[in-house]
Amino acid sequence: MAETVIFEPEEEYECPACNTIVKESDPKCPQCGTVFEEEEEEEQDLETPSDPVATRVAPARPEEITQSVIYDAIIATRSDLEEIQERLDGLVKAQEAIEHDISDIKNRAAIGKARTGSTSTVFADDLERGEDEEPPEVKSVMDPVEVEYEEGPEKDTSQMIKELSQLKGIGGSRAEGLVDLGIESIDDVIEVRLTSAVKKAFGGELRAKEAQKHAKRILKDRGQA
């Protein structure tokens, strides 16, 4: 009777370099040529058998790599969003402060106009009051207030502009642009008024010369008559 021989299938592993299936008995990978080194067996106690030790390291699964990359991306995105939100909060606060400063300047200009009909007096009041004193409390900007002012010498415009550029307390550094705009507006008004005055003076001089010529002609005609 023939003896039956049972062949046990040889174990197979994945190559850690190229993931090619190789047999346990193969000394190297037939695909990429990676040489497998057998680990030295440690001396074990005969009475306490040890757990089997893997001689090859299985590569990480693709889904594990994908999850790790996605997790890192989420953490980085959250950090970027927090930084962006902080910047947006800072911009919103700065915008609110600027709007408050603009409203305050408009209110002060309206007070000056209601009192004297000119917005320039609000700056003159600031210069006379000084930086450390508080502005007077006003109950309503719509009702005109009768205030008596003493007549005095007019202030030098260039000196007023210089003092305006150094004036503080109207919104701090956030209102510097508005103060500069006010100074430019004052310059424009002064230039327009000067130009108008020169034109009027020049026109008056021309009319005076024409009148003088006309008078000479009349006198000449009468003398001849």
Domain ranges of the chain: 10-38, 64-154
| Per-residue confidence (pLDDT) for residue 65, from 0 to 100 | 57
Which H or E element spans position 21? strand 21-23
Reduce the DSSP state of residue 22 to 3 states and report it: strand
Largest CA distance in the chain: 175
C-alpha span between 94 and 114 (Å, rounded): 30
Residue 56 dihedral angles phi and psi, to the nearest 5°? -135, 150
pLDDT per residue as tens, the chain (225 positions):
455 545 455 677 788 788 888 887 778 888 888 887 765 555 444 455 555 444 555 555 555 556 666 667 777 777 777 887 888 788 888 878 887 877 777 777 777 666 655 555 545 555 455 444 454 444 444 444 444 444 545 555 555 555 555 554 444 555 555 555 555 655 565 666 666 666 666 666 677 777 777 777 777 777 654
- This prediction has a pTM of 0.23
Please, what sign has the CA dihedral across residues 213, 215, 221, 223? Answer: negative
